[in-house]
Amino acid sequence: MYHYHTLANGIRIIFRPTQSIVAHAGVYIGVGSRNEQGPEEGIAHFIEHSIFKGTEHRRSYHIRNRIDGVGGELDAFTTKEETCIYASALSEHLERCLELFADLIFHSTFPEHEIEKEKDVVIEEINLYRDSPAELIYDEFEERFFGTHPLAHNILGTKRNVRHFTSEMLTRFMRSHYTPDRMVISVVGNVDFQRLVRLCEKHFGIERGKTKGETESSVATNSQFSTFNSQFNDTVHKRTHQVHMLVGGAAPTLFDNQKTAFTLLNNILGGPAMNSRLNVAVREKEGFCYTIESQYVPFTDAGLFYIYAGVDSGASERATQLILAQLRQLRDVRLTPQQLRAAQIQFIGQMAITNDSGLNEMQSIGKAYLNFDHVDTLDEMNRDILALTPADIQSAAQQFLREETLSCLYYK
């Protein structure tokens, strides 16, 4: 059972009680790389790094030691649409985590000498990423796929932009986007909910700021970018030992009524299990690759799926044919009730294992509450999965897995 509360300033709280001695807490902020414009590209990720470098009350050493010193773990991440700052610690130290979150979010000072050092760190992160073709290919695919849509922005930004970030730019971006109406506090742990609400009011309730309708935003609407998914088939010469390849295209948005069907379809096609159709057809039967997987990423006004494989240099054409054959089979051959039931049972089990981690659940419900203002329980998600029919799966396949709408990118 989830507990909800909204502070007077608009910050929302979601909580699930557990019997664990460890509490997991995080603050989700609805801002990511898609909110950036021009020279700002990469700034959301850079802020995620830099908020740990100093506040009005603490220097970087004191920030690092605040959670680490009691055996906890503090971290953060940035996506195209969200930023999350989170920590895991013994339940008795939950207030320590919440107080630090509020300090980082509302009182970061971005000392210039610390910012200059962090620029080198982020530039090295960019270099590291560019040296990993299995990761870099995803960003390049998305840049080509989304075109001028803000979702095309690389989360890390560019070296040039990073070098030009200033404390003033970081502060201005935070004040514009890190507003209470865009924040969700997510907690999973053994704590009294009313006490949690009091702690959040104590540390977050005094912060006012903009309310819904007043927040500045560069997020584009779907109507502005209705034709971003133009098809391409490109090869980039990287002199890699393997051919790294992506095949993908448009998929349901976060709010599309076909999202559940496509989620299950994607899991059947190339989910983490060894019996996924792609793993059996390309790896097990042919031995063409070590890794092959399918991913589905729904955004608020767009959706994307892609199939990744790293194959021998002489096998990329055959691997592509095998992938397209699997997509064609899902479009043309409806699942039997027995096949669908097996896929449903498998996915329900996978979701249960994922949610068995308190940290995973905290992050999952925080993101869901941020976007939907409600979170389905595991039982409710299972119900939706079990309600799917073979026709639902085939309909999603026929709409989104059509060969003429797919794009391909190869690193050779």
User: Are the C-beta atoms of residues 137 and 411 closer than 8 Å to each other?
Assistant: yes
Count CA within 13 A, CB hemisphere, residue 217: 18
> What DSSP state is assigned to residue 338?
H
Structural contact between residues 233 and 408, judged by C-beta atoms closer than 8 angstroms: yes
Catalytic residue among 36, 40, 48, 118: 48
* Angle 16-18-23 from CA coordinates, rounded to 5°: 85
Cβ contact 107:96 at 8 Å: no
CA angle 113, 116, 118 (to 5 degrees): 110
Distant-in-sequence, close-in-space partners of 42: CB < 8 Å, separation ≥ 6: 33, 36, 122, 154, 155, 156, 157, 158, 161, 162, 165
Q: Which two tokens stand for residue 212?
A: 């819904």
Give the count of alpha carbons within 13 A of 314, CB side only: 2
Q: What is the DSSP string of 259-318?
A: HHHHHHHHHHHH-SSTTSHHIIIIIITT--EEEEEEEEEE-SS-EEEEEEEEEETTSHHH
Using CA atoms, how far apart are residues 323 and 7, in angstroms rounded to an integer? Answer: 49
Q: What is the DSSP letter of 206?
A: T
- Number of continuous H segments (helices) and E segments (strands) in the chain: 15, 11
Return left, alpha or beta for 172; rule: phi > 0 is left, psi -120 to 50 is alpha, else beta: alpha
Q: What angle do CA 9, 14, 19 make, to 5 degrees?
A: 140
Among the listed residues 156, 138, 149, the one whose alpha carbon sits nearest the alpha carbon of residue 409: 138
Is 48 catalytic? The answer is yes
**Look-up of token digits 């055959």:** 318
Q: Count other Cβ atoms within 10 Å, centred on residue 377.
A: 13
User: Dihedral sign, CA of 213, 217, 219, 220?
Assistant: positive
- Distance between CA atoms of residues 242 and 222, nearest Å: 37
Letter for the amino acid at 14? Answer: I
What is the pairing mode between strands 242-250 and 233-236?
A: unpaired
Active site members: 48
